[in-house]
Structure 1
Amino acid sequence: MRWDIFCKVIDNHGDAGVCWRLAAALSGEGETVRLWIDDPSALAWMAPEGCEGVSVVAWTAATAEIQATNAPAPDVLIEAFGCDPAPEIVAMFALHAPRNGSTHRWINLEYLSAEPYVERLHGLPSPVFRAPGAGLTKHFFYPGFTRATGGLLREPELIARRERFDRGAWLASQGIPWQGERLVSLFCYEPPALEALLSQFERADRPTRLLVTAGRAAAALPPGPAQRGALSISWLPHVPQPEFDHLLWTCDLNFVRGEDSLVRAIWAGAPFIWQIYPQDDDAHHTKLNALMDWMNAAPSLRGFHHLWNGMARDRLPDLNPTTLESWGSSALAARACLLEQDDLLTRLQRFVAQKS
């Protein structure tokens, strides 16, 4: 089938990351995909080699008009995170809709959350009353952590590749010096507790190498030398998605942010701390606590998340081996639970077929 995925890059490339992974996953199943994205610049480093079966379209009014005139209509229309697809493509989609609705679906792919409402709203229809899609029906598709949701993106053989991974070889291939010190990745916004974390690493008995991702994480780091007491810092360039996964597989502790990297941290199976995207009404606090509830997070893990996200003010607990071992057990248990469930692509394809 032909799938059109529409994506608007709101901030920090997370929307593009999710949509590209979905497009590539669909292509891997033999589907034909057009990824409409209003700012495709991040794909130059996120997916520099592209993907066979995926066409990237710079989403403008002009390109939408050209595509609507010269390209076939999609069988499945996906609007990521309520971005409102190009009206020209919606009109073409509506015009070619079979009378019985067979293999013709409009999906609103929503944001990830562990909150209870996800199970209630997943799969619900949303009739369209305004042109150009008047008379059609969207369906909400919510990623999530339970069998009653849309699941999480997970490539075939991902865990097998994770188990075969050689972190020493990967570090050498990236030119990152490593002499057995603790490895920590930093992918964040501007967490209030960042300086306290760096200070703890600097004064720790065990050496730590901090692998800092490009962009806001690097900008948030206070200026200073690469060697700061027991802390060594390596600054990384922007890397393709597979290399970002390898970064998470490499580290003993991962600091991640947003949606896509949270999912990848879960699949990595290592201890992680999630910085959730902040919202003005503090709705992200509820969303974070819902994830902690689903994970049955230990008080130390929940407390560190609250400090990292500015929900509490206190001294950071010591990240000693015992603490990290406990957090690692939580991460592995969460991953094991999810591996017993179908992945998002399997559920999405089933959902499209079942609605035929």
Structure 2
Amino acid sequence: MAAMQLHWDIFCRVIDNYGDIGICWRLARQLVAEHGRHVRLWVDDLASLRPLCPAIDPSLGAQSAHGVEIRHWAQDIAAERSADVVIEAFACELPNSYLRTMAAATRKPCWINLEYLTAESWAEDCHGMASPHPTLPLTKYFFFPGFTTKAGGLLREAGLLSDRERYQKQTPPRDHLEISLFCYDTAPVGDLLAALANMAQPSVVHVPPGKPLAAVMQHLPGPGPWQHGKARIEPIPFLPLDDYDRLLWQSDINFIRGEDSFVRAQWAAKPFIWQIYQQDEDAHLVKLSAFLDRYCAGMGGEQAQAVNDMFTAWNGGEPELAQAFQHFVDHRQAIAEANHAWCEDLGSQDDLATALVNFCAAKV
């Protein structure tokens, strides 16, 4: 291990409740556990980290969990040193005081702007590009997670897929559908509930607190649980990251949102439906289409159409959701088989943490 790469700082501003911090927390843990790095995670909203890591105390400015040093990122910070590798997650903009510390270092750190995940082809062209700072002797590199070897990989801990396989083999068979529902409050949840109520096959729907439960409560009376036609709707507590992974593994269909749960649903190798984070001028729909083009390329025509229709309907487009969902369920087994092949292909590539370590080593 190169000594100059031992210390890493990750900066995270919480934008999407749990997506940004979920990715940064998983990355920090993996860099410590699998690559022996010393990691400081700077977070502006520690309360959002607490549900993912119940061991932390949001009132503390400095603490440790899972070997990661966790710091509260206030308006400005006093850092006695800059790290050897500095990760600016999702263009969060480093504090000026820290930039000055970086610039004053005898050996300049490897500065990474960890970008949002996208399947758009332009991201592969921009992956690894250098951007010199206009006034300081520093260079920032743009690092794009992605779905091919031309990008930076996806977060995947060592042994994750084998752990999933063992867990799923122990899951007993059942007659009903198990569904996890993690969504924004803009999702057409009422239409989904109506579709589930009228399906021939019964279902159990697990709904975490926050926006998903609030969306359900707009359509069903009281705090739940609810029996809604053939569907049993059950509120669940917010799950720490590893427990959430197991929920995805055991469910037959996973409704997920944002980026962190989007990636974890793919490692679950189960049918999933993604609500993408909405952007101005419908820019998110371009991103959604780019993913669907890649993801559905290995599917048969009927399965690909079912996935496209359901993803589109869930994100506010046509066709009508009840029809799209029934079509999706009808092709669930074939979609699951395609998901497993997709997952295996992604799993053959370097994971994000390993790709970052290797990339930074080449920049020393």
Per the normalisation by structure 2, the TM-score is 0.88
Distance 1:73 1:336, change over 3 A: same
Distance 1:21 1:73, change over 3 A: same
What amino acid is the match of 1:109? L
| Aligned 8 A contact 2:292 2:308 in 1 | yes
Structure 1 equivalent of residue 60 of structure 2: none
Structure 1 equivalent of residue 267 of structure 2: 267
| Aligned 8 A contact 1:80 1:108 in 2 | yes
| Aligned 8 A contact 2:310 2:328 in 1 | no
Structure 2 equivalent of residue 239 of structure 1: 239
Structure 1 equivalent of residue 184 of structure 2: 189
Distance 1:192 1:277 in 2: 11
Distance 1:142 1:206, change over 3 A: same
| Aligned 8 A contact 2:168 2:249 in 1 | no
Distance 1:97 1:214 in 2: 48
Structure 2 equivalent of residue 20 of structure 1: 25
1:79 and 2:88 aligned: yes
1:230 and 2:230 aligned: yes
What are the residue-to-residue correspondences of 1:130-141 with 2, within 5 Å? 130=135, 134-141=136-143
What amino acid is the match of 2:286? T
- Once the two structures are TM-superposed, the CA of residue 97 in structure 1 deviates from its matched residue by 3.7
1:41 and 2:47 aligned: yes
CA deviations 1:86-131 (Å, max 9, x no partner) are 2222211221142xx5xx300000000000011100000001013x
Q: Which moved more, 1:199-208 or 1:309-318?
A: 309-318
1:353 and 2:358 aligned: no
Distance 1:168 1:180 in 2: 16
CA deviations 1:115-158 (Å, max 9, x no partner) are 0011100000001013xxx1210000000001000110000000
- Once the two structures are TM-superposed, the CA of residue 330 in structure 1 deviates from its matched residue by 2.5
- Once the two structures are TM-superposed, the CA of residue 200 in structure 1 deviates from its matched residue by 1.5
| Aligned 8 A contact 2:306 2:328 in 1 | no
Distance 1:55 1:269 in 2: 32
Distance 1:319 1:97 in 2: 61
Aligned-partner SS, 2:113? strand
- Once the two structures are TM-superposed, the CA of residue 339 in structure 1 deviates from its matched residue by 1.1
Aligned-partner SS, 1:290? helix
What are the residue-to-residue correspondences of 1:1-356 with 2, within 5 Å? 1-28=6-33, 29-49=35-55, 51-61=65-75, 64-65=77-78, 68=79, 71-98=80-107, 101=108, 104-130=109-135, 134-165=136-167, 180-221=175-216, 222-224=219-221, 226-295=226-295, 296=297, 298-315=304-321, 316-317=323-324, 318-319=326-327, 322-356=330-364
- Once the two structures are TM-superposed, the CA of residue 182 in structure 1 deviates from its matched residue by 1.0
What amino acid is the match of 1:157? G
Distance 1:37 1:192, change over 3 A: closer
Structure 2 equivalent of residue 174 of structure 1: none
Percent identity of the aligned residues?
41
- Once the two structures are TM-superposed, the CA of residue 10 in structure 1 deviates from its matched residue by 1.3
CA deviations 1:329-350 (Å, max 9, x no partner) are 2211211110111111111101
- Once the two structures are TM-superposed, the CA of residue 319 in structure 1 deviates from its matched residue by 5.0
Aligned-partner SS, 2:281? coil
Q: Which moved more, 1:275-284 or 1:323-332?
A: 323-332
Distance 1:241 1:19 in 2: 12
In structure 2, stretches of 5+ residues that fail to align are 1-5, 57-64
Aligned-partner SS, 2:280? coil
Structure 1 equivalent of residue 61 of structure 2: none
What amino acid is the match of 1:238? F
Distance 1:36 1:341, change over 3 A: same
Give the RMSD, CA atoms, in angstroms.
Answer: 1.9
- Once the two structures are TM-superposed, the CA of residue 272 in structure 1 deviates from its matched residue by 0.3
In structure 1, stretches of 5+ residues that fail to align are 172-177
- Once the two structures are TM-superposed, the CA of residue 218 in structure 1 deviates from its matched residue by 0.5
What amino acid is the match of 1:75? D
Distance 2:142 2:169 in 1: 39
Q: Which moved more, 1:341-350 or 1:329-338?
A: 329-338
